[in-house]
Structure 1
């Protein structure tokens, strides 16, 4: 498998190979897509290179079969029919080219587009800088942004509810405007 550095490519992490499954080269995949089977629709998988160090390095990865199994997914890596070889692919992220991601409707965003954006609250006529979105979480009821830094250095959990707490997302300026009490 040829290794290739994709520093300038727009890769989006869509899952992770977690463990081997069986003895014939199958591996378990934890998918970040919704529904989880959508990860199988992407044609060009990239696997995080082992020991990539500080610089992200990725390898092309070919899958020749994949299916739902129990509460998760299993895939077969093309040309790998041995459990020990399959184990070398485990605990590594899976990415796809951003250009493969389906187009969204206006006002909809992928999580990777929101991560790293600055969050500013315009609460009761005053502006508060809360820091940046470090990650998002699913809670069941709604998604939640984890925001760190800002004027007071606190971590905040802000529900991602457009029209209620999220007043505007501006990808060009890198800012999410929220209506959120700075005391929370």
Structure 2
């Protein structure tokens, strides 16, 4: 692969759409059709095999995005791709706006309280209906901290590699 840096998971092949080799995609971009702006794609199948592809086109259709792959022309080939994950190099994404973050950029940062108590590192983040949640993990436990600024997440310092939180270490 050309870019050996971090990758962002943007979606997955959900199955075939019609009989002409189009694919239904689950897209986690906003809007969903924005997935086509970020190429090349790195396709990773269930066995871990990867290949890079460019020139994928598509549009929104119902609750899925419909895609046409330049090298796939029949329904059976698309069905064989079901579950294939769609990644892009982190460098393919534009810089986030002020006060916004790509989750992948936060993963691995140290998490400390405003009082300097270490809570471990950012393991991952996930979305809920109300807000995103930062998961801080150390050798002993995992803490789920609402990613609400500035109430709970008081600062993110990429230079120092630290996320500072206003959070009770015993919670």
Shorter-chain TM-score: what band?
A: 0.7 to 0.9
**Structure 1 gap ranges (5+):** none
Alignment of 1:3-42 (within 5 A): 5=1, 8-42=4-38
TM-superposed CA distance for 1:85, in Å, is: 1.1
**Structure 2 gap ranges (5+):** none
1:117 aligns with 2:109: yes
TM-score with structure 2 length normalisation? 0.86
Tell me which moved more, 19-28 or 107-116.
19-28
Matched residues, number: 171
Partner residue of 1:47 out of 43, 46, 50: 43
Q: Tell me if the contact between 2:133 and 2:144 (Cα under 8 Å) persists in the aligned partners.
A: yes
Partner residue of 2:146 out of 155, 159, 165: 159
1:113-153 CA distances to partner (integer Å, 9 max, x unpaired)?
Answer: 0122221112xxx4322222222111122111122225xx2
TM-score with structure 1 length normalisation? 0.81
1:72-96 CA distances to partner (integer Å, 9 max, x unpaired)?
Answer: 2121111312111112322122122
Judged with a 3 Å threshold, the aligned counterparts in structure 2 of structure 1 residues 100 and 140 are, in CA distance, closer, same or farther, namely same
Q: Tell me if the contact between 1:27 and 1:74 (Cα under 8 Å) persists in the aligned partners.
A: yes
2:39 aligned counterpart, secondary structure: coil
Q: Distance in 2 between matches of 1:21 and 1:176?
A: 43
1:31-61 CA distances to partner (integer Å, 9 max, x unpaired)?
Answer: 2212222112223222125533xxxx63122
Q: Distance in 1 between matches of 2:129 and 2:147?
A: 12
